[in-house]
Structure 1
Amino acid sequence: MPQDVETYAVQHSSQLEPLLQEVLAYTEQHHPKAHMISGAVQGLLLQQLSQMMRPKRILEIGTFTGFSALCLAAGLATHGLLYTIEMRAEDAATAQTFFDRSVYKHQLHLLQGDAKQIIPTLQESWDLVFIDADKVSYIEYYEMLIPRMASGSFLLADNVLFHGEVLQDELKGKNAKAIAAFNAHVQADDRTENVLLTVRDGLMLIRKK
């Protein structure tokens, strides 16, 4: 997203609540990969989508510093739960410090480790899934989760434009190739319907039929 467009979008969007502002500021100031955070506009979109859906069970793959999980938690149904999985122990620890201060702290379950190993152990049916993890595994995550999602539930996949690299005639990097393959995989799947949103780095909204 061009920076001037992003700035204008932020200026004409609601303010994040204070804890989300703090997570965003902390990440931007202290994390060497701060660009990986969803950002204010996408965070608000995740929040409002969740609030519209009122999911009972949310799964997030890729916690990072906890920003997107806190956005999604705002829409949880009463007694709803959000599970979020983070591979990196340091990022998981950072996220947990913010979760502990959230009004949703008793609804947030942070799991540290390999999502491919953890997901099969979670005996849940997901109403809303957010994938923002290793790009080469997107198709594998998708295929693990779609069978465990009810009709009418939603899956969101982040970075589906991958810095614009998916638009190149010749795909070079492994991540760009993986994301392009994922986008094609979803497009060809008759179990779902999808729309690619040009928000930030691209967000695919997928509904199971």
Structure 2
Amino acid sequence: MKMDKNLQKYIIDHSSPEDPVLEELYRETHIRFVNPNMLTGYIQGKFLEFLSKMITPETIIEIGTFTGYSAICLARGLKPGGKLYTIEINDELHEFSKSYFRKAGVESKIIQFTGRAQDIIPGLDQNFDLAYIDGDKREYTEYYNIIIRKMKPKGYIIADNVLWGDKVLDSNTRDPQTRGIIEFNEMIKEQRDIEKVILPVRDGIMVIRKI
């Protein structure tokens, strides 16, 4: 969501600072990669870290590693011995994100997969306390339907970009990414076995709790 720059600065000035490793990752992602805005930002990353630390999950599943910013934030809330399983479709990002997991001191907590989440998740033996969805927007509903079966009771699912630059307000859109988000939001709205709330953080974050 668009935010007044002065208000954004105020929020940053009154929040815990971004640590040097994440700051370096943010800069290098913007220098080296196309579509750097896919990266989780500082305030959103801090929000994810806070949620993870409050939930203290034993297991986390993430769809959409990109360069690893969100995985680092989420991994910091794991219980001792806990693991984060992160999936990225682009194999060219594997070693880059791994290098930052090492720098951040969370490499031993993170297990990386390359491929489609729909193919990988059903083969995992683990059930999850926390899930983070930030992959292909056209496939959000598919991701959810696979993940919800793997969630522990009272587990949390976090979905990013659910406001999609306010484009979700255009119900007549033919853009496939926007349609994917709209269909996901409407599907979640009708679910009765979960609690859910949309927060206007960055591009919209939905927090879902399995009852």
Indicate yes or no: 2:19 matched with 1:17: yes
1:61 is matched with which residue?
A: 63
2:34 is matched with which residue?
A: 32
One-letter amino acid of the counterpart of residue 56, structure 2: R
2:142 is matched with which residue?
A: 140
One-letter amino acid of the counterpart of residue 170, structure 1: N
One-letter amino acid of the counterpart of residue 106, structure 2: Y
1:7 is matched with which residue?
A: 9
Q: CA deviation at 1:169?
A: 4.5
Give structure 1 regions of 4+ aligned residues with deviation exceeding 4 angstroms.
none
2:78 is matched with which residue?
A: 76
Indicate yes or no: 2:51 matched with 1:49: yes
Is the alpha carbon distance of 1:187 and 1:169 closer, same or farther for their aligned partners in structure 2, counting shifts above 3 Å?
closer
| Aligned counterparts of 2:112 and 2:150: Cα–Cα separation in 1 | 20
Deviation string 1:139-179 (CA, Å, 9 cap, x unpaired) is 11111111221211100000001111001242231111110
Alignment partner for residue 183 of structure 2, among 160, 181, 184? Answer: 181
Gaps of 5+ in 1: none
- TM-score, normalised via structure 2 length: 0.95
1:85 is matched with which residue?
A: 87
| Aligned counterparts of 1:35 and 1:69: Cα–Cα separation in 2 | 16
2:203 is matched with which residue?
A: 201
Q: CA deviation at 1:12?
A: 2.2
User: Would you say how many aligned residue pairs link Structure 1 and Structure 2?
Assistant: 209
| Aligned counterparts of 1:64 and 1:76: Cα–Cα separation in 2 | 20
Instruction: Indicate the percent of aligned positions where both proteins have the same amino acid.
Output: 38
Q: Which SS does the other structure have where 1:41 is aligned? A: helix
Alignment partner for residue 163 of structure 2, among 145, 161, 175? Answer: 161
